[in-house]
Amino acid sequence: MAQILEDLDRVEAPVTDSPWITLVWNDPVNLMSYVSFVFRSYFGFSHEEADKRMLEVHNDGRAVVATGPREEMERHVEAMHDYGLWATLQKADE
């Protein structure tokens, strides 16, 4: 078992695989009902998941709503801007 773990440690992840995240930021304008609705209708979150992320935005100032390749995160950010939500993307480890 120890041998297997050591071997795995030697496998380096390619730099290009470093994931990106989409962040939605708190703003004083958007209604909680609307933000939750957007998270459900666009990202396909369940009611519970959407409300959890919406409250995270509201209480913590921001929430990660998606993780993946940069191009995909750019599409998400543009879509959030279509809805009037304030979103940005960045590398996950930034």
Applying CB under 8 A, does 78 fall inside the site for other proteins? yes
Site string for other proteins, 36-65 (x = CB under 8 A): -x--x-------------------------
CA distance linking residue 22 with residue 65, whole number of Å: 6
Instruction: Output the smallest distance, CB 87 to other proteins, in A.
Output: 8
Of residues 8, 16, 28, 71, which one binds other proteins by CB under 8 A? 28
Q: Least distance in Å: CB of 91 to other proteins? A: 10
| Contact present, 69 and 17 (Cβ < 8 Å) | no
Instruction: Give 5 or 31: the residue with its C-beta nearer to other proteins.
Output: 31
> To the nearest 5 percent, what fractions of the chain are helix, strand and coil?
55, 20, 25
- Give residue 37's Cα distance to chain centre: 16
